[in-house]
A and B are shown apart, each in its own frame.
Chain A
Amino acid sequence: MSAALLEQTVNGLMAGSVYVLVALGLVLIYGVMQVLNFAHGVLFMLGGYLCHFFFTRLTGSYAAAVLLAMAALAAVGIALERGVFRPLQGNLRNQVIASLGLILVFENLVIALWGPNALQMKVPATEALVPLGELRFPLQHLLIIALTLAAVAALAAFLKLSKFGTAIRAASQDRQAAMVVGIPVERIDWSTFALGTALAALGGALVGPLFLVFPQMGDAPMVKGLAGILLGGMGSVPGAVVGGLIIGVAEAWATLVLPTDYRDSVAFAIMIAILMLRPRGLFGVRVRGEQ
């Protein structure tokens, strides 16, 4: 029994890390702009596709392909912020509806351009098997966990120590006050969006070699990432990390006792429970103006 528990813990941490990458992007964008970007899942998916494209067509180096995908998605993020979300600032309903439209556009664009079949990204280096007692895990599993931790640490350092990072935190705490102090909130807006989409792209690119690259690959991580930030608290970066990991591990543990049909219901149940019992989440601050 403990072998199964260990196995599921590692699997849960891996899945949770992917959710963390999605959740971080969501929470950064939400914190600064009060926008809940429902299209984040398709950006994750685009990251996977672009990584596959760069890996197979441009460079044989997986690492380079990942970085290029992140850069490309950052550019896409900036375009979306300036073109779609900034004009709709303040109108929550329309922002959500516009992001639904973006989902349709990107998901079907990818099908139209790459075809409906799933793509395989074979990166032999990541397929090495790492033994852990009687269990074995592909290297990519552990890479995902490690790289996510690294990304979180880097993000934390950036937000806490750098000038720009502090500006981001200021803008998310109180946008008006930040403007008064002379912080260029518009620049903060698009850079945060770029950062968020780059993180989503990292998620998609990391998941690519492990599974397949296909148009719907971002749908589940989006919902789980959403559950993660609800659990952690809508405006809280550490909340997003903790929330994402908890969802991943809870799901994995649940499948040891529940029929796996209901695996997705775990995230929903957590979502509904947290909303009913403690709407601001584990680490959240009272959301101003809305509740």
Chain B
Amino acid sequence: MQLDAKTPEGSLGEKWDNHRFSIPLVAPPNRRKFQVIVVGTGLAGAAAAATLGELGYNVKTFTYHDSNRRAHSIAAQGGINASKNYRNDGDSDYRLFYDTIKGGDYRSREANVYRLAQVSGEIIDQATAQGVPFGREYGGLLANRSFGGVQVSRTFYARGQTGQQLLLGAYQALARQIEAGTVTPFNRCEMLDLVVADGRAVGIVVRDLLTGEIGTHSAHAVVLATGGYSNVYFLSTNAKASNATAIWRAYRRGALFANPCFTQIHPTCIPQADEFQSKLTLMSESLRNDGRIWVPVQFDETRPAGQIPEDERDYYLERRYPAFGNLVPRDVASRAAKKEVDAGKGMGPMRNGVYLDFADAIGRLGRDTIEARYGNLFEMYERITGEDPYEVPMRIYPAPHYTMGGLWVDYDLMTTIPGLYTIGEANFSDHGANRLGASALMQGLADGYFILPNTIAAYLSEHLGTDPMPTDHPAFAAVVSEVEDRVQRLLSANGSRTVDWFHRELGKIVWEHCGMARSAVGLEKALVEIPVLEEEFFADVKIVGEGDSLNQTLEKAGRVADYFQLAELMCRDAVQREESCGGHFRVEYTTAEGEAKRNDDEFAFVAAWQFEGDGAEPCLVEEPLEFENVELKTRSYK
């Protein structure tokens, strides 16, 4: 199979314009003749559905939540990047593009990333016009803050609730279209499979979570906006229900899965406190603007932080990376924290955290300023840990947070299945091997508001005058029967262990071998352990209750069932990539100083995996990455 990214002609700055001009359009009176399915109503999905509705298409949205306002985009704290250059500090589309390519360790496509930078400013305009209450200066104009991996201030924010406010903006735009009748919402309704017929995506199979009824929906095109798969690790910063089922089922139906091993471990999360913990909570990266990260110089330090004198503290990021200091990119900060904790310098009851200290900032700026900037984050920290970060330093440790990998898409955001699009975190497109802070919201909204609604016309226009495939077509019946069998298989196991038990065990394997540090030996071990656990799961999982009503354990089991094979694919991809880049750190491939060592000669490609059937090894298809504008350098933040 040959992958065609469909990168448009022209210079970097002209590609998106050229492309928009060259793709066929659907004229306004014809748009209502098209039916589009959007699965997931987070930032990308809600933005896309609302915009498609405004354009005049008929849209159906699907979410397993009770309301379109609950997707996990809502939990993004710190901010959203845009190359507005309001600060006059040397920012530009090109710099945002360059920072993103470099931050991603040169494993993303130039053309896609440049387009992202180009539309970033429009996102801020759009959100502001919707009423998103971004932080303001006293003159009434928009404020900015800095984020890791860059030397400009380009991050817009709404206190520590930027994701919430942006999602509410998109949710409200979507609500308007629901009221207008262009969008029909299906809530508490989970996509369980994709229907492909005549070589294209024709619809989806869903389960109504209240009645258990398996239903079918057809459309001219299907858009997946179902987020990332960090929950494969069990302990992650994702919401409990965030899952990979939609993209995984699409993969099994023929969509290629790109760079599954590119996962982001976020450096500033509250460390695990005990065994039964259900999730990890992120503390916004924006805290690194004012907090200083340190560990004691002495091993197995037992004094409380306040009693450790200044000269017995190691501000290791400031020491190792003087140019960027505490604001190095996420992958670098995470690995550095791991190194300190592994060396026995971790603090806290489980000795699994490093300090993030605000004493200097409070001394310099006053408690009120710090409270205004981070008050809600400090409160959240205190609620969870019972410690007051105004008085004692926070304890932080890295945790799985974001997945750069996802379904392979071309420049139009279409997967290898014609008519199937993937947007937001669910695709692999823009972040390469590491995502910069405040870029997830930017990408989700760029895809949803500005890119997909334009590019989807190219495909739809080919189908003008055709009806969506009727749902009584045998292709639908075949998928429905497979879905019903899967549900039945889970219900009938009646074993002796809970779903969470299996999920936790799987998480331990993936975290150990495909987490912050990976090795061929470890990954091969995981590839043996995961299928064994999967087999045990299907034989021994216990689900009480029936399939014909609200059954939250059954929902969870279906999601966990799909993680086993995904975890395998992640490990397979990590074995194959014999280099260290971004969040993918192979212990065999490091510089003399222990930093990540890329191998551009052999691995400057997107690794896209094709499903070859159960029991068969998936096939690796490489999309070479061509860099015409940036020079591939060793990332240095010193």
Q: Do A and B come from one complex?
A: no
